Chain A
């Protein structure tokens, strides 16, 4: 029925089907009709998380310690729920920076550190190899088990099987070929493998279907549903205890049963630790990074995947407990390793079809993991370990070769083979002694060391390279001491004394109870110490180290990735330009001529560049080339290569000075703006003040106009209504009317003059004028005014002509204004007015002095302002129109002269002006 030939045929037929699907997926990708571009395939590819550990190991663990298999799936469920925050950010960053592995991600975040990339790659390889060994063991054991059909015995001594008779060896070979064929088909700048993803999604369907099939078969075929099965199990004292967590107190703590504990409280703390560890592991596992980030087609797919993936996890765990209990019922007293209940139950029931399907399911779980994991690890080994070593050689050696793509692919293929070989050796020498889950847990603990660097790097800008290096090294050291070294014990590599007594008999250094901590079981114990060391060193290193410029730049680009536009990249960090042929040949070397030219051409068409003439590549193109290279050889190596052809140092002192200069200019500009604003504010205030003055002026003028009008009108009415008035009265009233009319006329003239001057419509008739004559005319014109008040006027004008060029009438107006102004403020009878002229160089100066009330100092500078009137303290209201002096000032200014006043209150005032003397005598 199921002989070895059929099983081999089916096995290789299945792997052949995988090849076909991968080939089809790659073909579709080449044609641009992606097979995997939908959220369902994406979620299924995430299910590569479920390996042989899940398929076989969960049942094994459930049979021995109840529900402790669950945290490994609950943790990822919780983390996936946060995926929209965390995973999406990682995806966005990785797309922008062309990050293709977890080592590249961490190295790139902390200033493209080559050292850091190497450390991460090393930890990943060392940590994951047991995990790969686990898969090989599962494949090998399940094969050996099924070939004995229908006998059931799982007592295999792997270490004693000769390599060339070992199926696991041939399976390893085939897997290596698959990974090499589809994982390193060509050197892709995006490092995406659609064919592989399609095959992985298919494998996820197969393993889920197989596990559900065996679950249904066991629950409803062998037993009569859940209740029947659980009530039967309830009868068994051993199994009853696995229903709860506290029951595990009955179990003896051994190396194999990591999760057994001594008290109920520690069961819960173990549980929480495992939950936390698997939460971290699901983002830190290289294969999860590969499928979730690197192979992600569209980040919108996360929208569905964040509930589809947990749903998948729930579904594949639904029947774990029933299968475990059924197995325990079927093979009582540990007759069979519980890890293989899944396969052994259908075998025991003589059901070849289901047996074969389950076997294929287990194989799909194991092969899917191995394929993706080796591809991810080979990228890391090539980009973060081998390339940096090669780049440290003198560049001449490297540049002898024209094309490195072949070399790079060879390195990757070699890495895949190496990883699988190491996995096989581990399985062959050590893996046989351990339960599946125990091996997997060691790997989980190892990759969890990446969590602080990744999560801290995503959300904490202050995290530095020193911190990350310190944290990873500390965490890894503690991991190696508390988990890896003791795990070599059963294989006889490490002595039992080391584990049980501590090194050199030092009890507090016992690897499973470091510093006497016995609260946890083995794995949570290790996780506690690793993460304590890791996070402690990470935070301390970050706080006490000074970040470099590139650290700052990368930190900002990672943490604030959603703030920057999609195509920013890190081009702004490169200030230099490069010789275009150099850059082109660099790309040719690492991407291949065809790919490099295609990439450059698409960049050119996007940016509208024509390179038939260009010889230099600008900073934008240099940044783009670096990202292209980063996809192929990792960001750290890409930086080294690009800096070898770029002419200028990134962000040297000159660029910094430029930036400072720019900042200074901006500052100056803003000062200018401030100044202008202040000026505008002053002008605005002045305008408001003028507006207020104008209002006042209008009210004054109307008042001034109304006063003479009122008196004229009332006097005229008196004259009309009282014809019997005496002649003298008649005469005096008529005089007042005339005088008031004159005043009115004067007022109106002044307003009109002022308007004319202001609106620049004044007609000036400039001619040679004798200023002496002007002054005499003005004195004559105001004679009546002066005499009426009984004021004495003195003219001291000298004998010579005073020739000026000007408008005679306007100059007379100035003098009349000044004299009548003086008259207004002089006391009647005792008033004295003096008009003097004096030459002052090329100018003539005219003083009009009076002994009137004077002007207060605070008013002196204001009296020439428009509309301003100095209030008469006696009358409480202004005298005159308030325009006389303004008009004077305008006229004098027009004649290129200057007018001012000297005054002391109570002692009189002197108004003075100077005018240039004309050289043309009149």
Chain B
């Protein structure tokens, strides 16, 4: 249960981070008519932020899986 609570807290924090990154005013910082690496800045920013969120969620959930599997190892049967 405690592990779940930690996981919930972490996921909620990632959610809040996402809300922040995908909203005004953070979004307006990158809202410039400029190409970076040949890609429009805002588009690049959103794709990167999106990928970051997915990475973070993957990290949180995979950690969770590892913890539970090691626990299973400790208690055979």
CB nearest neighbor in B for A228: B38
Q: Are B18 and A227 in contact (CB under 8 A)?
A: no
Secondary structure at the A interface, as helix, strand, loop or mixed, is helix
Cβ-defined contact, A67 with B46, below 8 A = yes
**CA distance in complex: A244, B44 (Å):** 11
Residue of B at shortest CB range from A62? Answer: B43
- Residue interface mask B45-60, A partner, CB < 8 A = 1: 0110011011001100
Partner of A244, one of B33, B37, B51: B33
CA distance A433 to B2 in the complex (A): 54
Q: Does A85 contact B (CB under 8 A)?
A: yes
Contact of B19 among A78, A85, A241, A311 (CB under 8 A): A78
A387 interface residue per 8 A CB criterion: no
Min CB–CB distance B23 → chain A (angstroms): 5
Using A81-B11, A231-B38, A268-B27 as known contacts, say yes or no to A310 and B50 having CB atoms under 8 A apart. yes
Task: Give the chain B neighbours of A697 by CB distance below 8 A.
Answer: none
The interface residues of chain B lying within 8 Å CB-to-CB of A67 are 42-43, 46
Given contacts A67-B42, A226-B39, A306-B61, contact A85 B23 (CB under 8 A): no
Contact B61 A307 (CB under 8 A): yes
Type the 1/0 row for A314-327, where 1 means its CB is closer than 8 Å to any CB of B: 10001001000000
**A225 close to chain B: CB less than 8 A:** yes
Q: How far is the CB of A128 from chain B (nearest CB, A)?
A: 27
CA A311 to CA B43, docked complex, whole Å: 16
Min CB gap B26→A, angstroms? 10
Give the tally of cross-chain contacts (CB within 8 A): 106
A66-108: which residues lie under 8 A (CB-CB) from chain B?
67, 70-71, 74, 77-78, 81-82, 84-85
Which one, B14, B40, B61, contacts A321 given CB within 8 A? B40
Q: Are B38 and A314 in contact (CB under 8 A)?
A: no
Bound-complex Cα distance A226 to B36 (A): 11
Task: Tell which of B28, B40, B54 touches A243, judged by Cβ atoms closer than 8 Å.
Answer: B40
User: How many Å lie between the Cα of A246 and that of B53 in the bound state?
Assistant: 25
Restricting to A252-301, which residues have a CB under 8 Å from any CB of B? 264, 268-269, 271-272, 275
Question: Does the CB pair A246–B22 fall under 8 Å?
Answer: no
Query: Once the chains bind, are B15 and A82 in contact (CB under 8 Å)?
Result: yes
CB distance from A424 to the nearest CB of B (A): 36
Establish whether residues B15 and A314, one from each chain, have CB atoms under 8 Å apart when the complex forms: no
Cα-based distance from A306 to B38 in the complex (angstroms): 31
Query: Given the interface contacts A230-B40, A311-B54, does A271 sit within 8 Å of B46 by beta carbon?
Result: no
Chain A proximity of B30: nearest CB distance (Å): 9
The answer to whether A307 and B40 touch across the interface, beta carbons within 8 angstroms, is no
Within 8 A of B (CB), among A186-245: 225-228, 230-231, 234, 240-241, 243-245
Which B residues are CB-close (under 8 A) to A78? 15, 18-19, 22, 53
User: CB-CB < 8 A to A81: which residues of B?
Assistant: 11, 14-15, 18, 53, 57
Chain B CB within 8 A of A247 CB = yes
Are A321 and B43 closer than 8 Å at their CB atoms? yes
In the bound complex, CA of A306 to CA of B32 (Å): 32
Contact with B along A46-78 (1 / 0, CB 8 A): 000000000000000000000100110010011
In the assembled complex, the Cα of A311 lies from the Cα of B11 at a distance in Å of 16
Nearest-neighbor residue (CB-CB) of B32 within chain A: A244
A275 x B23 contact (CB < 8 A): yes
A661 beta carbon closer than 8 Å to chain B: no
B19 cross-chain contacts in A, Cβ below 8 A: 78
Q: Is A675 an interface residue, CB under 8 A from the partner? A: no
CB-defined contacts of B32 to chain A, threshold 8 Å: 244
What is the CB-to-nearest-CB distance from A609 to chain B, in angstroms, rounded to a whole number?
Answer: 31
Among A225, A240, A272, contact of B23 (Cβ-Cβ < 8 Å): A272
A809: interface (CB < 8 Å): no
Question: How far apart sit A311 and B55, CA to CA, in the bound complex (Å)?
Answer: 9
A81-B53, A271-B27 given; 17 more Cβ-contact pairs under 8 Å: A74-B46, A74-B50, A77-B18, A81-B14, A82-B15, A226-B37, A227-B35, A240-B33, A243-B40, A244-B42, A268-B27, A303-B65, A307-B54, A310-B54, A314-B50, A314-B51, A321-B40
A residues neighboring B (CB under 8 Å) = 67, 70-71, 74, 77-78, 81-82, 84-85, 225-228, 230-231, 234, 240-241, 243-247, 264, 268-269, 271-272, 275, 303-304, 306-307, 310-311, 314, 318, 321
9 nearest A-B pairs in the assembled complex, by CB-CB distance: A227-B38, A268-B24, A243-B40, A307-B57, A307-B58, A81-B15, A78-B18, A310-B54, A244-B31
